[in-house]
């Protein structure tokens, strides 16, 4: 059953990721902004999910659906790797270096910020 949760979430996340590749300005001056912002947003959302899952007693199945499924397939290291390789093969060494370095740092900062976001539970009246 766990695979079903991951698979259903994966279908949603990968579809969202694919849709974002058609956004205007997805690539500017060879810099792949769509993947860059997708990975930062995914890192932030995963941080928020991890930071709040125990507090709100989010079931393991939902964590698999959202975390591994949706967010895991929404973000992608393979796209960053392929796009960096493309930039290097095309001779865009500086943009390739900036892209991979900023992706790593921004992803880390997004996740760290997400871990800091803690939602308050509603108080029962």
Six-digit token string for 52: 């709040």
Phi and psi of 57, rounded to 5°? 50, 50
Q: How does residue 123 score in pLDDT terms, banded at 50, 70 and 90?
A: low
CA–CA separation, 13 and 28 (whole Å) = 24
pLDDT in tens, 61-105: 999 999 999 999 999 899 999 999 999 999 999 999 999 999 999
Domain boundaries, the chain: 2-116
Q: How does residue 23 score in pLDDT terms, banded at 50, 70 and 90?
A: confident
Six-digit token string for 36: 């860059």
User: What is residue 22's DSSP assignment?
Assistant: T
């Amino acid at each position: 059953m766990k695979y079903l949760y991951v698979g259903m979430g994966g279908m949603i996340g990968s579809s969202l990721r694919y849709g974002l590749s058609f956004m205007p300005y997805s690539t500017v001056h060879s810099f792949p902004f769509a993947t860059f912002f997708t990975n930062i947003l995914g890192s932030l959302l995963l941080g928020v999910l991890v930071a709040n899952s125990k507090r709100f007693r989010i079931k393991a199945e939902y964590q698999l659906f959202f975390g591994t499924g949706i967010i895991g397939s929404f973000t992608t290291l393979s796209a960053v790797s392929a796009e960096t390789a493309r930039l290097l093969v095309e001779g865009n060494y500086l943009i390739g270096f900036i892209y991979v370095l900023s992706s790593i740092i921004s992803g880390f900062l997004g996740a760290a910020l997400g871990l800091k976001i803690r939602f308050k539970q509603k108080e029962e009246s």
